[in-house]
Amino acid sequence: MIEIRLFGSLQRFGAQKGWSFPHKFLLKEECSATQLAQMLELPLEEIEGVFIDGIPRPLKGAQIKPGQRIAFIPYGIPGPYRVMFGLKNK
């Protein structure tokens, strides 16, 4: 199982699906963050980055393993929060 959180404007997608917060998802094998977003039917064009166990990473190239905690971060996060989320130079 992995725990998934959606931040900002992405929260509406979880709400539309009736997900709890955090949402539990059975991930059987390692996959990319992009593949996970596609499995969850999240809009890739709205996702800028992902937290994996609290560490911010760009969406592309990030790998997810069973048991991890994941949070998807949308585009449009204001300046100070970009620094807090670790996206300032991403």
Identify the band that residue 75 occupies on the pLDDT scale cut at 50, 70 and 90: confident
Where does residue 22 rank: exposed (0-12), middle (13-18), buried (19+ CB within 10 A)?
middle
Tens of pLDDT along 38-59? 999 999 999 988 999 988 888 8
Contact 66, 28 (CB under 8 A): yes
Listed residue (36, 39, 43, 47) closest to 7, CA to CA: 47
Q: How high does pLDDT run on average in the chain?
A: 88
Given a cut of 70, is residue 83 above it in pLDDT?
no
Identify the band that residue 28 occupies on the pLDDT scale cut at 50, 70 and 90: very high
